[in-house]
Structure 1
Amino acid sequence: MSITSIVGRAFEGRQKALEAYALEGEALQNRVLSHLISRATPTEYGRRHGFERVKGYEDFARNVPVNTYEELKGDIDRMRHGEKNVLWPGRVKWFAKSSGTTNDKSKFIPVSKEGLREIHYQGGRDVVALYLRNNPGSRLFDGKGLILGGSHSPNYNVAGSLVGDLSAILIENIHPLANLVRVPKKSTALLADFEAKRDQIARETMTKNVTNLSGVPSWMLSVLVRVLELSGKSSIDEVWPGLEVFFHGGIAFGPYREQYRQLIARPSMHYMETYNASEGFFGIQDDPQDEAMLLMLDYDVFYEFVPMDEYGTEHPTIVPLWGVETGRNYAMLISTSCGLWRYEIGDTVEFTSRQPYKFKITGRTKYFINAFGEELIMDNAERGLAYACGETGAEVLEYTAAPVFMNEQAQCRHQWVIEFSKAPDDVEDFARLLDERLQQLNSDYEAKRFKNITLQPLEVIVARRGLFNDWLKAKGKLGGQHKVPRLSNSRKNIEEILQLL
């Protein structure tokens, strides 16, 4: 009998509980809201917004404003300096460092003890529960899990308080027993220099029985390539014959799928997407045949949604989970036990099912191109690239795109900088296929491209190998949970990247 078959029994109760998601979504979410309000009523934020008078969702929506990071920044900074009972009861010691805002290089997302336990770690447990449900013959726990994380550093001069990548916070606080089934050692996992960390991880793990991987696809790919370089093997299967699953998140997996298939040739290899961010753990791919993810309803997260066709208007419609419609693009708001209240996380989602609530990530509220009314979102970009790659045999490693604004002849276009792991034979043909597919996927883009009147054909610039890593390194963002911004209305990022071309 394998270790996994024994350990797996501990997940059976949770597997059964997750079945309630199909019929009890509204009840589960109302229970979460009631719990959050009850716990936070004595806090400064709770007193400021009359939590003691909140009896249900309508009261909550009436009393509490929608918040961006800028609105909560002052309170979060006080928490970082050690103040208690501000946004959440007690003192919060951990702050997840996330990509910045217009005014700041970084955001610092509070991570409370309850948030760690009831959101982030619960998400990790449920990933395993759902994976084992779908793969009863798994030997997951008969080997080690390679978990790729970031780093952390002191928070101001507050004793015992740290800031860092969420993954580093999770590794730092993980239960000691979990260290028996994970690699690399903690000191390696928390190294700040990604290039040194990549090398050390490869050296520590290539002789271990690794059965599962967890991390961001781009950075994990870099580690796997180093493992092959050091081991002298031709495929990861030869290094880790027991490898069976990659739990991935952070960025879309589509552009990396073919590269993983080449590195890991085993047909039985599984890939399972998760939606975990600095702000919380929200979704898990529960069906291997369905790319949509199950929205996690009974964590310490209450969800609300703003239709994207109303986003940015003065009085947009805001609906709780039970008010969403399938096939509609929404910006997501969250309220959590980390002290985020009606917080705009910046991601956009589209629901594919309501029983249970399943969704796909469509992009970012800020990562889109709408310079000429074309409303191009990340979902369009990912699907367009997948099509062009499929037609040409190309493989995309990294990319970014931005508008080229109108010149004296009123001509404008989208400009894409793409780093290929396998370049197409004809870049112009690749660009044509991408452009045509985007028109098929997006009627607004199609209208602007009509007869080249508004938008001219898109331009693809082939990046040298390592260009995007060099750009991230120059900004101090190499490794961890940092990622290349895919689409932007501004040319700031693309101009910096082109300077390094």
Structure 2
Amino acid sequence: MSLKSILAKPFAKSIAAKTYKESSNAVKIQYKLLKKLIKQAQHTKFGKDHHFSKINSYQDFKKHVPIRDYEALKTYVEKAVDGEADVLWKGKPLYFAKTSGTTSGAKYIPLTKQSMPTHISAAKNSLLHYINETQNTDFLNGKMIFLQGSPELDEKNGVKTGRLSGISAHYVPNYLTKNRMPSWETNCIDDWEKKIEAIVDETVHENMTLISGIPSWVQMYFEKLIERTGKKVGDIFPNFNLFVYGGVNYEPYRNKFENLIGRKVDTIELYPASEGFIAYQDSQTAKGMLLLTNNGMFYEFIPAEEFYNETPTRISLEDVELGVNYVIILNTNAGLWGYNIGDTIEFVSLNPHRIIVTGRIKHFISAFGEHVIGKEVEDAINSQTKGTSIRVNEFTVAPQISPSSGLPYHEWFIEFENKPDDLEKFSGAVDNALQQQNSYYFDLIDGKILRPLKVTIIKKGGFNKYMKSVGKLGGQNKVPRLSNDRKIADELSKYED
């Protein structure tokens, strides 16, 4: 056992103990954090405009600070991007994390001297929790790969800008530098397909022990490895034993990954966003991810079914309940206030506070009032693939409101690695599973308003071709699970099998 492995265990134990102690006092810590954030930002332009000096309670805060998305906060962000100081947070941002906006082109999310360390420590602590629980430190002795965006950064008025994953590449601890792959030069390749080939070149003969990235893009890496060697990933890398992922639910990919690897490996789910590192999986046995309540963010929650109401219920951590689908709202030490990142979550534990990501508030199907969400379609398809030979590479769902004949329906675009023997039976079973979860959908089927779902099979590689066609192949880009229109569906139809 290496010295690194020996030292990691007591350190992991102390970090886990500290985290759980904070978790047991989460509500108090959250209110204390809100006061601290308000005090630190009261002399900023945003703080003055929203009377931070008069805020003495959470009730006061709600009166003065409305819920906003990026579009509504954009005028403040633009001032910071133009080089102004003390706009959303004291001083100037350390970086801008550049993300793809759906309505306004590129978005620039501020990262500050106070917020950047919270991203790094959360990623590190997720691994330390794993070590503390499993006592497995083997992965520390091999090579680790993080499939991410380019670390090359641009600059806007003296502030560096880039993808969050690329910015984070500048903060790899010294003790991991020798273990980390791919090389800096390979990481800087913009073309995703060329980058994957280069990563395979660099890693195929290495002792890879930890692999991390968004499942859909790691899958592409695994397939290239197998294509190159004719071996399963687990045979190429016999000591590979930990997969770290984020961005999407792993369950739809699990069967496919276990087949590509040739065996099961431990997994750690992360919930990082450019706006803040929100949660990570702290246990291999407990459901959900631990909400990070002392990580520079004060959280608010709005029941998703009320979100578009004129006066929706807006609560703090103190009043959340199990099993409710909430829109999560952030207030951060990077100067985001009442900020809707667009995600929906559900609490699966209140002691400690653990969550699952259920989808996106804008990614749903409610063409007929059914309000089907991401978690429901993922659970429906997982229920019919788990423990079977059926393997799904990727899928998305959209409504077909005006079919050429018959009743409207939900159309599922699925790229199979292994197709079901009986597609009609499979489709019916998935539809029944969805009906059991969503009573509105059941009523629409039962009342003959909708007919059961239809599966449209996409050719192998079709989703990647679609993503490439819209300039979103690789990196942190993801295919939405649900759309309430046909924009993605119509493009995917070009790749129908």
Name the TM-score, length of structure 1 as normaliser: 0.94
% identical equivalent positions: 35
Deviations 1:445-471 (A, max 9, x none): 1001005x1001211110011111111
- 2:217 matches 1:219: yes
Comparing 184-193 with 367-376, greater Cα deviation is found at 184-193
Question: Matched residue of 1:226: which SS?
Answer: helix
Aligned to 2:467: 472
- 2:46 matches 1:23: no
Aligned to 2:233: 236
CA contact (8 A) 1:418 1:460 kept: yes
Distance 1:178 1:78 in 2: 37
Aligned to 2:89: 88
1:329 to 304, 325, 328: 325
Structure 2 residue ranges without an equivalent (≥5): none
Give the superposition deviation at 1:93.
4.2
Q: Is the alpha carbon distance of 1:499 and 1:105 closer, same or farther for their aligned partners in structure 2, counting shifts above 3 Å?
A: farther
Deviations 1:88-124 (A, max 9, x none): 11212422233323x3233222222321102x11211
Matches within 5 A, 1:440-451: 440-451=436-447
Aligned to 1:208: 206
Distance 1:192 1:391 in 2: 38
Give the superposition deviation at 1:21.
3.9
**Count of residue pairs brought into register by the alignment:** 495
Cα RMSD (Å) of the superposition?
A: 1.9
Give the superposition deviation at 1:300.
0.5
- 2:148 matches 1:149: yes
Distance 2:247 2:109 in 1: 16
Deviations 1:8-30 (A, max 9, x none): 33333211111214420111111
Instruction: Output the amino acid matched with 2:187.
Output: A
Instruction: Output the amino acid matched with 2:222.
Output: L
Matches within 5 A, 1:22-101: 22-101=23-102
Deviations 1:363-389 (A, max 9, x none): 110111001011111111001111222
Distance 2:437 2:100 in 1: 29
Instruction: Output the amino acid matched with 1:144.
Output: K
Name the TM-score, length of structure 2 as normaliser: 0.95
CA contact (8 A) 1:228 1:236 kept: yes
Instruction: Output the amino acid matched with 1:248.
Output: Y
Q: Is the alpha carbon distance of 1:409 and 1:198 closer, same or farther for their aligned partners in structure 2, counting shifts above 3 Å?
A: closer
CA contact (8 A) 1:203 1:227 kept: no
Deviations 1:356-414 (A, max 9, x none): 11111111101110010111111110011112224863211111111111469782111
Give the superposition deviation at 1:430.
1.7
Matches within 5 A, 1:288-307: 288-307=284-303
CA contact (8 A) 1:82 1:92 kept: no
Instruction: Output the amino acid matched with 1:92.
Output: P
Aligned to 1:113: 113
Question: Matched residue of 1:340: which SS?
Answer: coil
Question: Matched residue of 1:161: which SS?
Answer: strand
Aligned to 1:187: 185
Q: Is the alpha carbon distance of 1:256 and 1:391 closer, same or farther for their aligned partners in structure 2, counting shifts above 3 Å?
A: closer
CA contact (8 A) 1:7 1:141 kept: no
Structure 1 residue ranges without an equivalent (≥5): none
Question: Matched residue of 1:72: which SS?
Answer: helix
Distance 1:87 1:159 in 2: 17
1:353 to 334, 349, 355: 349
Deviations 1:52-101 (A, max 9, x none): 22223222222111111111112212222222111111212422233323
Distance 1:241 1:402 in 2: 40
Question: Matched residue of 2:306: which SS?
Answer: coil
- 2:488 matches 1:487: no
Aligned to 2:455: 460
Question: Matched residue of 2:47: which SS?
Answer: helix
